[in-house]
Amino acid sequence: MQSMTRKEAHEIAQILKETYPGLEPFLHAKNPFESLVATILSAQTTDRQVNKVTPALFAAYPDPEALSRAAEEEVMDYIRSIGFFRTKARNIILTAQKLVGDFGGKVPNTMEELMSLPGVGRKTANVVLANSFGQASMPVDTHVFRVSNRLGLSRSKNPEECEQDLRKILEEESWNYFHLSIIQHGRDICSARSPKCEICPLRDHCRYLDSLKKEGPSC
């Protein structure tokens, strides 16, 4: 497989930006606390489903102090329609308690501090840093991981390696919008099972499509 150049990576980022203009964070949040909680809830659940449950959840628990005092069963009732709701209810309550106890009720703005919170991994921390604090970050979810490897931007075996590959090959100022646009591309065109290669604006840059052409039609 031919190696991807920084110039070609920049071209891919530009095509994605032009193809998906005006994207906003997919999870609805008014502040860092809401962004953090919504992102914890989004693990293995669609953003659309999370956005359905968070308005009532945040109306009941508008800040870390309120959520830190919540009963687990009550929180579960608000988020019962999303995956792993029991574990997530426990995690967001514990996170709120840690925010109150260790961070003065505020969401921290460093990777290390965010990852010290229950239910917060590297992807969640990156999302909060990008969406709430405007820091250049590269969250890698299933769409980013799949599409980046298909394009040849990464040859990684896991999301953390993929993140480092993307950080190296893409210009830092493009990171935050790139991750939104490549997620949208993964949803709209470069799906896991039936990618729409025939209409893909990145077909001239795609290593996955190149490999299919070389294999030729199957018998």
Q: Residues 141, 204, 210, 213: which is the catalytic one?
A: 141
123 carries an active-site annotation: yes
| DSSP assignment string, 35-72 | HHHHHHHTTTS-HHHHHHHHHHHHHH--SHHHHHT--H
Amino acid letter, 131:
N
Q: Residues 47, 88, 98, 123: which is the catalytic one?
A: 123
214 carries an active-site annotation: no
Alpha helices, DSSP H, located in the chain: 6-19, 32-41, 47-60, 64-68, 72-79, 85-103, 111-114, 122-133, 142-151, 159-169, 175-188, 207-215
User: Could you tell me the sign of the dihedral formed by the alpha carbons of 153, 155, 160, 164, in that order?
Assistant: negative
Residue 47, token pair as written in the block: 């953003």
Q: How far apart are CA 57 and CA 76, in angstroms?
A: 10
User: Could you tell me the sign of the dihedral formed by the alpha carbons of 106, 112, 117, 119, in that order?
Assistant: positive
Taken as a whole, the chain contains a residue count of: 219
Give the up-direction half-sphere exposure of residue 165: CA atoms within 13 A in the CB hemisphere: 21
For tokens 């405007």, name the residue: 134
Amino acid letter, 144:
V
Q: What is the DSSP letter of 190?
A: S
Supply the residues annotated as catalytic. Answer: 123, 141
